[in-house]
Amino acid sequence: MKIVWRKEWVNDYESPWSVFEKLSLVNLVDRNEVLKVFGISRVKNIKQHIGDYHRNLLLLNGFDLQKLHQALDFDLLEHNKNIIHALIAPFHGLYNSRNHWFHEKLHWCPKCMEKGFHSWLHQFKLLDKCAFHNLNLVKSCPDCNETIPFLLSNKQLGYAFKCKCGFTIASFHISSWNEWKAPEQIDQAILEWIRSNMHQLDIQPRWIVHEQHCSLKLLIKAEPKETKHIESIEPLHQNDYYSQRFQKKLLRNYLKTFKQVEDKLLKNLLGKHQHCITQLMELRKINDMAEFPEICPYAYAYVFWRKALLKKEHFYDENGKIHTSEEAPLLIEGYLEYFSEQIVSFQMKTQQCIDTKILFWIMEKIIIQFSENFFNAWLEIAGERSKKISAPSWNEVNEMRDRSFPIIAFKYNFIEKSSSNCVEYHHFENEEVPAYKYVCPYQYESAIRDTYTMKSYTPQAVAILIRGDKDVENKILQNSVETYVKKLSFFNTR
C-alpha cells in the first residue's frame, strides 16, 4: 500500500491521535485499516475484535514501529517519550504507569483542531485549558455529548475528524493540508516547565500531587503558602508504618486536625448559633403535638457538614455529646491514604525511613483546607435546604466532597546531607468564595431560653417516652418524628 504523507504534518507536542486522523483523511482509510497496515504480526492475525491494548496511543503497543517510522519519516514513539517525560518527570515515582497522568477520553481545543492539531498537552490532566489559546478544552461531542476514546479506534468516530453523530470536529479542504501545523504561541510558563524537564533524568525537587486536584499553573507560578524545614527527623521503618499501632496514631492525628477546624468554627462563625445547633441535633420542640421549629441555616450547615465528614448514620445526637467528634474524617479517607502512601514511598526512596513529622504536617494541611472548603459548600446550600427541610443524597454529598477537595501540591526539596531540605505547601486560594449571610430566627434572649426548656424528640427519646404505649397520640408523634428525620436523611448509597 502506497502511503500519502508529509513529514511536516507532525508538529512539536502533537499527539498520535491527530497524526493518525490526518493519515486516515489523506489516504481515505478508516482507523482499523491503518492499524492493520502498521500493526505488528499479532495484530494482523486477529480476525475479529482488536482490543484497546493494541490501540494505545501512548506506548503504541500494537504497531510495527520500524514500518511506521519509515512511512512517516518520523520516530513517533521517541516523540511520545520526549514530551511525556517533559510533562511528568517531576512526579516520577508517584505512579508506575504513565497512563495515569493522561485522560482516557479525548480532550481537544477547537482552535487547534482548525489546523489539524491535537496535543499531548490537551490530554495532560494537570491542564484544563489549551496551552496555546487559553481556551477551555472540549471533553465530549458538542452535539451528542458522547465522549471519544483517546485511542486509534472507530468507537464514536466515523470519517476522519468526525463524530459518529455527524458532528465535524475539524473540517478541511485539500488546500487546507498545507496549513496543518501547530500554533505558533504557547504559554511561556508551560514552555519553561517542558524545557526544564526535557533532558533531565534525575529531577529534583519532586512534587507530590493528586492529578485530579492539581494544576500545572499552581506548580509553575505559585509561591508556597507555607514551608516546613526538615530538621530533626522522627524516623519510622516501613513495616512499623503499616502496624495497627501507628495507623491508630495516624487516625488520632486526623481527628485532632479536624477538631481544630471544628473548634474554630464553633468559636467564631457559629459562636452565636450553638443553641440552634442544640435544637437541631437533639430534635427539640415545645411539646408532643407541636411542629419542629424552623431550622437555623448556620446550624444546618454545621450539623450536616459534620455528619457527612464523619459519615455518621444520623444527623441527630442520641447521646447528648453535641460537639464532641469521636471519629476520623472518613469521607476523605481515600484521598488521605493516597497522599500518605505517596509521601511514604518517596521518603523510603530518599531517606530509607519515614519522617513522621513531615507526614503529619502534610496530612494536617490537607484536612484543614478540605474541611474548611467542605463547610463552605454546606453553607452555600444551607439557606434553601433548611427552609425546605431536605438533605442531599450521599451521591450529591460525594460530589460536594470532590468539588471541595483543594487544589494543592507539596514540593519536596531533598538533597542528601543538605541542610536546606524542606517541603513546600502550595495551594490555590479560591478568590470567588462568596460570604453567605443568613438571618437566624433565634438571635434574641427569649429564643435562646426557649431552646433549653424544649424537650428532645429524637427517635430514641420518643421510644423511651411512649414505652410501648401505642395510643393514637403516641402513634401520631412517632410517625411525625420518623417523617421529619427521613426528610433530613442522606437516602441513597455512598
- pLDDT for 476 equals 87
**Which one, of 442, 449, 446, 454, lies nearest residue 288 by Cα?**
454
Q: What is the pLDDT of residues 291-318, one digit of tens each?
A: 999 999 999 999 999 999 999 888 998 6
Distance CA 186, CA 7 (A): 22
Which residue is it, cell 490530554? Answer: 123
59-104 pLDDT tens trace = 999 999 999 999 999 999 999 999 999 999 888 777 777 888 999 9
**pTM assigned to the model:** 0.88
419-436 pLDDT, tens digit per residue, is 678 999 999 876 665 678
Q: Tell me: the pLDDT tens digits for 248-288?
A: 999 999 999 999 999 999 999 999 999 999 999 999 999 99
Mean pLDDT of the chain: 90
What pLDDT, in 10s, does the model give residues 129-169? 999 999 999 999 999 999 999 999 999 999 999 999 999 99
Query: pLDDT tens for residues 369-414?
Result: 999 999 999 999 999 999 999 999 999 999 999 999 999 999 988 7
Least reliable range by pLDDT among 38-42, 173-177, 213-217, 224-228? 173-177
Could you tell me what percent of the chain has a pLDDT over 70?
A: 93
Q: State the Cα torsion 409-414-419-422 to the nearest 10°.
A: 10
What are 9-59's pLDDT values in tens digits?
Answer: 999 999 999 999 999 999 999 999 999 999 999 998 888 889 999 999 999
Would you state the cell numbers that stand for residue 57, as one nine-digit string?
A: 496511543
Q: How much is the pLDDT for 494?
A: 46
Instruction: Note the pLDDT tens digit of each residue in 322-351.
Output: 444 556 678 999 999 999 999 998 888 888
pLDDT of amino acid 283: 96
Pair 83, 120: CB distance under 8 Å: yes
For the stretch 457-469, pLDDT in tens is: 999 888 887 776 6
Total residues belonging to the chain:
494
Q: Are 150 and 106 in contact (CB under 8 A)?
A: yes
List strands edge to edge, sheet with 422-427.
206-208, 408-413, 422-427, 226-229
| Alpha-carbon distance values, 185 to 108, 122, 182 (Å) | 17, 15, 9
Measured CA to CA, the distance from residue 5 to residue 150 in angstroms comes to 22
pLDDT of 320 above 50: no
Residue 200 confidence (pLDDT): 67
Angle between helices 297-309 and 274-281 (to 10 degrees): 60
User: What is the residue whose three cell numbers read 505517596?
Assistant: 342
**Local confidence band at 470 (pLDDT 50, 70, 90 cut-offs):** low
